[in-house]
Amino acid sequence: MKTNRLIDIFLQLIKINALSQHEKPVAGYIHDFLIALNLKPFYDKSKDKTGSDTGNLICRVGNGGHFMFVAHMDTARPTSDVKPQILDDRIVSDGTTVLGVDNRAGIAVILHALEKAILEKIPLTDFTLAFNTCEESTLAGSLNLEIAEGIKKCFIFDSSLRPGDFIHSSCGAKSLNILIKGKAAHSGLAPEKGVNSIAIAAKALSQVTQGRIDAKTTVNIGTINGGTATNVVPETTQMTGEIRSSENGMIDKIMRAIRDIFARETAALDAGLVFKEEWDFKPYDIPPDADIYKDIVRTLKKVDLTPVPVASLAGSDANSLNGRGIPAINLGIGAQNPHANDEFIYLADLEKSSEIALELMKKECP
């Protein structure tokens, strides 16, 4: 069957456990795979900044060309006990673990396409492969990826969309960290001497609109931690959260509003406030007249797919690379229900994604 070799590569990859910062086993598999094709993969120095046990794995085909294929090596949850099952139309786990489709499918389709081209002597253009670390945790791998000067664009195989769909626009995300400093006191003997940081947090949070703000914006306070004992007025409370939007202005507007709310409520009870914000990743938008956009549309049509551009509220290595000035589009590969135990991929999507990769690698493309 046409997909046997591709399935074999995918099944080998998902059985390698490699969470963020522990990608070395997957990197080793890819390294050996490429060596067997008489290529010369190498590691960059990103591990010094990412904390991973390996650098990003890079391989130049020909002289490295002007574009790059990208997939990440980490999974969000363990796959050490994965028990894959091949059904009539899809691959699933037994339901007790994730399958690891995100993003072992992306790695598999790139490796399969390259192997097929080399073994069948299909003429290839020059290009670069990059397999990144820490995508699931911080995007640190792509933020610190060694990129040759000649690279002008990147094709990322990492979206849960079906083949034919591609992400040309994505939100940015800004994290916030809020620390309220109240005053501890015995809650039974002298509660009036204390300043309850949890109560301040609750009052402030009641004024913060969360969830989907509009079609392009979401707000979430994801963690809250405060207090030390039931008989102590809680001195400190800390919260973390994020704001996502495709518009920088909207993120900044909401961040200012949240800061003002907490500043007002802490000041009312003479409590202290430490409010920190930091960009996790910036938004991007690639217009239809961009070269990479045209490349994707043309390639998808060549493999008999209808191109469907999509705007996303999720981050990926594409955000990092676009933020670094390298146009990058994230291609749908059909990683269904990512990070969940019912994660799966259609066999047809796996095969079609490899077909897309091969088309992009061919001498005349892009």
Residue 268 has pLDDT above 90, yes or no: yes
Share of the chain above pLDDT 70, in %: 98
pLDDT at residue number 2? 44
pLDDT at residue number 37? 98
Least confident range of 2-11, 169-178, 272-281: 2-11
Where does the pLDDT of residue 366 fall: very low under 50, low under 70, confident under 90, or very high at 90 and above? Answer: low
| Higher-pLDDT residue of 275, 248 | 275
Q: What are the residues facing 68 on neighbouring strands?
A: 128, 154
Half-sphere exposure of 271 (CA within 13 A, CB side): 31
* pLDDT, tens only, 340-360: 999 999 999 999 999 999 999
- What DSSP string runs through 234-287? --EEEEEEEEEES-HHHHHHHHHHHHHHHHHHHHHTT-EEEEEEEEEE--EE--
Residue 153 has pLDDT above 70, yes or no: yes
Where does the pLDDT of residue 248 fall: very low under 50, low under 70, confident under 90, or very high at 90 and above? Answer: confident
Non-local (6+) Cβ contacts of 68 within 8 A are: 127, 128, 129, 130, 147, 151, 153, 154, 155, 326
Average pLDDT over residues 105-117: 98
Mind listing the domains of the chain with CATH numbers?
A: 4-170+283-361 (3.40.630.10), 173-281 (3.30.70.360)
Q: 159, 72 in Cβ contact below 8 A?
A: no
Residue 311 has pLDDT above 70, yes or no: yes
Question: For the whole model, what pTM was predicted?
Answer: 0.88
pLDDT at residue number 365? 54
* pLDDT, tens only, 186-238: 999 999 999 999 999 999 999 999 999 998 899 999 999 999 999 999 999 99
Across the chain, mean pLDDT equals: 95
Residue 245 has pLDDT above 70, yes or no: yes
pLDDT at residue number 1? 37
Average pLDDT over residues 92-120: 96
